[in-house]
Amino acid sequence: DTGVSQDPRHKITKRGQNVTFRCDPISEHNRLYWYRQTLGQGPEFLTYFQNEAQLEKSRLLSDRFSAERPKGSFSTLEIQRTEQGDSAMYLCASSFSGTSGSRTDTQYFGPGTRLTVL
């Protein structure tokens, strides 16, 4: 069973450029989450999907951020017109939700994409 994968692992870009990150969840998981983690802080929730539906977006997710999960499998997170404040680790997680009697729908995380905006 392969875990959550993210690509790229590192991205360096110049301010004003657009970047796109990809996340491939654990294959049987129907929920997919994006978090952002800055230095010295815990991860902060950005958005999550159940299958292809985006169910919640954080107020942290400005208009420059967009996330998709077109076929309910992999997801992309795009940041347009990047700013230096976007520099962070972007973490993706997945879980399975829906089994009756399930004790926990634990979120399993990928290795993250570290973004540096110059």
Q: To the nearest whole angstrom, how small is the minimum distance from the Cβ of residue 38 to another protein?
A: 11
Closest CA to 67 of 85, 48, 40, 88: 48
Return the number of the residue (14 or 101) whose C-beta is nearest another protein: 101
Q: Which 45-84 residues touch another protein, going by CB under 8 A?
A: 45, 48, 56, 58
- Please tell me whether residue 42 binds another protein under the rule CB under 8 A: yes
- Residue 81 Cβ vs another protein, minimum distance, rounded to whole Å: 26
Give whole-number Cα distances, 3 to 27, 79, 99, in Å: 8, 25, 20
- Would you count residue 111 as binding another protein (CB under 8 A)? yes
Residue 96 neighbours by CB under 8 Å, 6+ apart: 26, 28, 29, 30, 31, 102, 105
State which H helix or E strand residue 106 sits in. Answer: none
Does residue 89 belong to the site contacting another protein (CB under 8 A)?
Answer: yes
Q: How far apart are CA 69 and CA 76, in angstroms?
A: 7
- Asked if 108 is part of the footprint of another protein (rule: CB under 8 A), the reply reads yes
Footprint of another protein (CB under 8 A): 31, 33, 35, 40-45, 48, 56, 58, 89, 91, 93, 95, 97, 102-112, 114
